[in-house]
Amino acid sequence: MCNANFQSRITSHLVTLFRTMRQSLLAVFLVVACLPWHGVAQNPDGTLLDFTDAEVRAVLRHGPWPIPWSRDPSNRVSGQPDAIALGERLFFEPRLSADGTVSCATCHVPERSFTDGLRVGRGRQEVDRHTPTILNVRLNRWFGWDGAGDSLWAQSIRPMLDTRELAASEAHIGRLIRSDRDLACRYGRAFGVPPAANDDTIMVDAAKALAAFQETLVTGRTPFDDFRDALKRGDRGAASRYPEDAQRGLRIFVGKGRCSVCHFGPNFSNGEFEEIGIPHYLKAGGIDWGRAQGIKAVLANRFSLLRAYNDDPARASAVSSRHVELNLRNYGEFRIPSLRNVALTAPYMHNGHYATLSEVVRHYSEIDPLRLHLGPEIYDSDGVAIDLQLPTILKPLNLTEREIADVVAFLETLTDSDSRRPRRAPEAAACR
């Protein structure tokens, strides 16, 4: 049940071992390590819950996985190997920061599923929000917790210029890439021309190379995907190996929990925003208005898809930006994250409010609808609050302790164990 690449790699290892080392015991160990479900507890009794047709349809909507590659039309070097190589180098390059101490990998740590394990991120200074994983980031429509970026490359500019993160400038980035022989060489290979004199152009191109690299950061198959595909082909034997507690948790997820309304589709996110009652006061004072700030920012951003740096002449890639509008309900909304590898990306929520998945599920179980909706209260002339007819998606689920544990067990089956071992740094070979 390992994914094809992993299986192929293991097979190759086994052949080598049998031919050259003949260490049978070690070979047996590797075979055991490659058994189905990647370390998630199996279901020895082979029980398959009596999922209804509607539940099966709901489960099938969370696949197939992986999603086929498609290039980003707004980025002319999307998918180009030379741009990916440049982007990888820049991702781990601390000289991109003003004082040479911070790189993208400072917060997006490969061994931590490209997060940092901290409640809120810390570049040169602490920021206000939790560092989201960038695994599968290519599937986002909006980027950042508030969606202030409408493309992966535009989003990659933001931390470079933020004074709390890399604190760089257009001039600093332009100077670095023009003056460093290896980076200049890679830039030339990726873009077909030497680094330009214009700093804005170089910075945007650097961001597009960074985006090309980040597009390659994807998670592989998980125990859930194997279960989902077994259901799809009617293979009860394979499906029944999926842990029973995870099956119960999945039933809640697509059923009474209504989690899949927002955590929709193969990537377990509909790519939009929701307000879920997480405290929104900032440590330094003030309020994090989330999506409302993001909409204002994207519409004012000179690097948005509506502006000149979009490489898509038809501007079809800008449809979301062209039609997005600010509504009252956007205040306090944050992006609905993918749940793939969620067990590896604690703490949770936009500000790292919860340390464990159990706490997150308990939040939805006990949610207080009165804590939702941050819009200003409106009263009539008698001082009576007017019902603003705001959304009513979230209601307390009142889950039992076992049900909470079951949902967590399901979420843990969304883990691709291979992604715990990403490459730590680019290869050393210099560009000539």
Q: Is 270 in the site for other proteins (CB under 8 A)?
A: yes
CB of 259 to other proteins, least distance (A): 12
Residues 6 or more apart whose CB falls under 8 angstroms from that of 412 comprise: 40, 246, 343, 357
Of the candidate spans 22-30, 76-84, 124-132, 265-273, the one that interacts with other proteins by CB under 8 A turns out to be 265-273
DSSP-assigned beta bridge partners for residue 335 = 273
Is the peptide bond prior to 66 cis by the omega test (within 30 degrees of 0)? yes
The CA-to-CA distance between both ends of the chain, in Å, stands at 43
Q: Is 261 in the site for other proteins (CB under 8 A)?
A: yes
From residue 230, give the alpha-carbon distance in Å to each of 19, 150, 209, 237, 245: 35, 36, 38, 8, 17
Residues 61 and 259 sit within 8 Å (Cβ to Cβ): no
Q: How many residues bind other proteins (CB under 8 A)?
A: 25
Residues 123 and 108 sit within 8 Å (Cβ to Cβ): no
Q: Is 324 in the site for other proteins (CB under 8 A)?
A: yes
CB of 320 to other proteins, least distance (A): 7
Give one word for 328, left, alpha or beta, with left for phi > 0 and alpha for psi -120 to 50: alpha
Toward other proteins, which CB reaches closer, 23 or 327?
327
Toward other proteins, which CB reaches closer, 85 or 336?
336
Toward other proteins, which CB reaches closer, 35 or 261?
261
Residues 188 and 432 sit within 8 Å (Cβ to Cβ): no
Q: Is 53 in the site for other proteins (CB under 8 A)?
A: no
**Placement of tokens 């060489």 in the chain:** 185
Per CB under 8 A, the list member of 30, 35, 390, 425 interacting with other proteins is 390
CB of 67 to other proteins, least distance (A): 13
Per CB under 8 A, the list member of 255, 271, 375, 422 interacting with other proteins is 271
Of the candidate spans 2-10, 88-96, 319-327, 349-357, the one that interacts with other proteins by CB under 8 A turns out to be 319-327
Q: Is 193 in the site for other proteins (CB under 8 A)?
A: no
Site string for other proteins, 85-124 (x = CB under 8 A): ----------------------------------------
Q: Is 51 in the site for other proteins (CB under 8 A)?
A: no
CB atoms closer than 10 angstroms to residue 194: 12
CB atoms closer than 10 angstroms to residue 411: 26
- Residues lying near other proteins in the complex (CB under 8 A): 57, 61, 141, 260-262, 264-265, 270-273, 319-320, 322-325, 327, 329, 389-393
